[in-house]
């Protein structure tokens, strides 16, 4: 489950609480805004339970989302034992050695540092059917990622999908030299900064139901669209899609959250109190608590797309006119500062006269947020 969803809850909910067509100050005190935000899931594949706790803040605040620290978090099996999760000291609570079984009933119980107790409703860990296939199709608008899945037993009915993307990309120029003590020396392969890998988890909420279908089956279910000219498909792209089976209650919750996410917010839009999950405060059921506790197996499948596989009309790489190279002569190398990188050696009649240089953002791919470390799942 995407661990960034808790901050997403806070943003969505508080934008709904204060947003309207004309500026309007709603008299809400800061202490009234700090709803507990809970994101919890039991993964019966990996026998892992992970719970993220944080607090909502006003949308106008520039502060970081406050994590709920030093809580005691438990998973209780109906009629069975209670197991405490490990506190990872960052608002994340986890246990990786539990034997969760699909079909069993579990609930979440937690006690905050201020001694307030919260419990979820009991959930049944659901079996998720496998993703049969993950594919892509091209159009002038870009690349559409889609999947097929089916439950032959016709039991699932309610689904949710999330994904994470990883792509390989290059800087505009290759820095083949680096400056050491005023001299240009070849950059060793271990220090190359031409090629990077970037990753990004999904922020979309994607749900689907087959309740009105004759079969429990999705064909060409759209997951995401990579727009034309996106950096993601310029070299090599990968997407990992995860599929979750939901209960009717869980499906309704994610559907409502999706609707609220797409809304800009207004006085007549759904308010935070209407977006409640399955978690309540034990001695005050009226206190708003945001989030949902769920569990079951998780199905996943990965897809790779290479640039050369795209149709010709998508094989277009825009020119970065802001990136240029200029010549620096040998006697000027000592003036080069760390905002520039050397690229290539320049010769005149086989005599070295200097080196081309360019702004660091044009030759160091890490400046665009990626890393030169190739992911473990990446093909050779």
Helix spans in 48-100 (H): none
Residue bearing tokens 């800087």: 171
Ramachandran quadrant class, 120 (left: phi over 0; alpha: psi -120 to 50; beta: rest): beta
Question: Cα(207)–Cα(215) distance, rounded to whole angstroms?
Answer: 17
Q: For residue 126, what is the DSSP state?
A: B
Q: What is the mean pLDDT of residues 251-268?
A: 73
- What residues have CB less than 8 Å from 214, skipping those under 6 apart? none
Residue bearing tokens 């659901």: 126
- pTM reported for the whole predicted model: 0.84
Mean pLDDT in the chain?
88
- Give yes or no for residue 41 having a pLDDT over 60: yes
Strands 217-227 and 195-201: unpaired
Write down the pLDDT at residue 341.
Answer: 98
- Asked if residues 341 and 347 have their Cβ atoms less than 8 Å apart, the reply is no
Write down the pLDDT at residue 18.
Answer: 33
pLDDT tens digit string along 100-140?
889 999 999 999 999 999 999 999 999 999 999 999 999 99
CA dihedral sign of residues 228, 231, 233, 237: negative
Q: What pLDDT band is residue 352 in, cutting at 50, 70 and 90?
A: very high
Tokens of 146: 């889609």
- Give yes or no for residue 81 having a pLDDT over 90: no
Of 6-10, 94-98, 141-145, which gets the smallest average pLDDT?
6-10
- Give the Cα-Cα-Cα angle 312, 313, 316 (nearest 5 degrees): 90
Radius of gyration of the chain (CA): 26
pLDDT tens digit string along 177-234?
999 988 999 999 999 999 999 999 998 899 999 999 999 999 999 999 999 999 999 9
Tokens of 316: 């277009």
Q: Of 1, 44, 40, whose CA–CA distance to 296 is shortest?
A: 44
Question: Cα(325)–Cα(359) distance, rounded to whole angstroms?
Answer: 8
Write down the pLDDT at residue 10.
Answer: 43
- Give yes or no for residue 8 having a pLDDT over 60: no
Write down the pLDDT at residue 60.
Answer: 61
Write down the pLDDT at residue 131.
Answer: 98
Q: What pLDDT band is residue 15 in, cutting at 50, 70 and 90?
A: very low
Cross-strand bridge partners of residue 221: 147
Write down the pLDDT at residue 44.
Answer: 94
Q: Of 92, 96, 93, 99, whose CA–CA distance to 77 is shortest?
A: 99
- Give yes or no for residue 275 having a pLDDT over 60: yes
- What residues have CB less than 8 Å from 190, skipping those under 6 apart? none
Of residues 62 and 361, more confidence is placed in 361
Strands 298-306 and 326-329: unpaired
Of residues 250 and 275, more confidence is placed in 250
Burial class (CB in 10 A: 0-12, 13-18, 19+), 228: middle
Residue bearing tokens 């990883």: 166
- Give yes or no for residue 57 having a pLDDT over 80: no
Write down the pLDDT at residue 63.
Answer: 64
- Give yes or no for residue 272 having a pLDDT over 60: no
């Amino acid at each position: 489950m995407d661990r960034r969803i808790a901050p997403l809850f806070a943003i969505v909910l508080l934008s709904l609480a204060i947003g309207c067509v004309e500026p309007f100050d709603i008299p809400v005190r800061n202490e009234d805004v700090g709803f507990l935000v809970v994101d919890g899931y039991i993964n019966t594949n990996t026998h892992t339970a992970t719970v993220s706790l944080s607090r909502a803040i006003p949308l106008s605040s520039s502060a970081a989302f406050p994590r709920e620290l030093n809580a005691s978090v438990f998973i209780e099996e109906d009629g069975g034992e209670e197991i405490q999760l490990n506190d990872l000291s960052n608002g994340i609570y986890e246990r990786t050695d539990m034997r969760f079984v699909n079909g069993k009933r579990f609930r979440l119980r937690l006690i905050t540092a201020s001694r307030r107790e919260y419990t979820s409703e009991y959930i049944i860990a659901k079996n998720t059917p496998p993703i049969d296939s993950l594919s892509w199709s091209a159009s002038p608008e870009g690349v559409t990622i889609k999947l097929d899945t089916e439950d032959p037993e016709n039991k699932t009915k309610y689904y949710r999908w999330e994904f994470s993307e990883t792509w390989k990309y290059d800087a505009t120029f290759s820095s083949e030299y680096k400056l050491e003590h005023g001299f240009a020396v070849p950059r060793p392969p271990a220090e190359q900064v031409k090629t990077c890998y970037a990753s990004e988890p999904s922020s979309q909420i994607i749900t689907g139901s087959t309740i009105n279908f004759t079969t429990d089956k999705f064909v060409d279910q759209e997951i995401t669209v990579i727009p034309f000219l996106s950096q993601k498909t310029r070299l090599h792209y990968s997407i990992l899609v995860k599929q979750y089976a939901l209960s009717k209650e869980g499906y309704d919750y994610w559907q409502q959250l999706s609707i609220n996410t797409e809304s800009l917010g207004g006085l007549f839009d759904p308010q935070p109190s209407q977006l409640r999950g399955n978690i309540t405060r034990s001695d005050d059921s009226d206190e708003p608590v945001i989030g949902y506790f769920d569990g079951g197996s998780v199905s996943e499948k990965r897809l790779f797309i290479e640039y050369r596989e795209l149709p010709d009309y998508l094989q277009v790489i825009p020119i970065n006119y802001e990136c240029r190279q200029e010549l620096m002569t040998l006697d000027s190398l000592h003036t080069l500062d760390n905002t520039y990188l050397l690229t290539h050696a320049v010769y005149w009649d086989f005599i070295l006269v200097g080196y081309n240089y360019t702004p660091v953002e044009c030759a160091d791919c890490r400046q665009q947020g990626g890393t030169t470390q190739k992911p473990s799942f990446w093909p050779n």
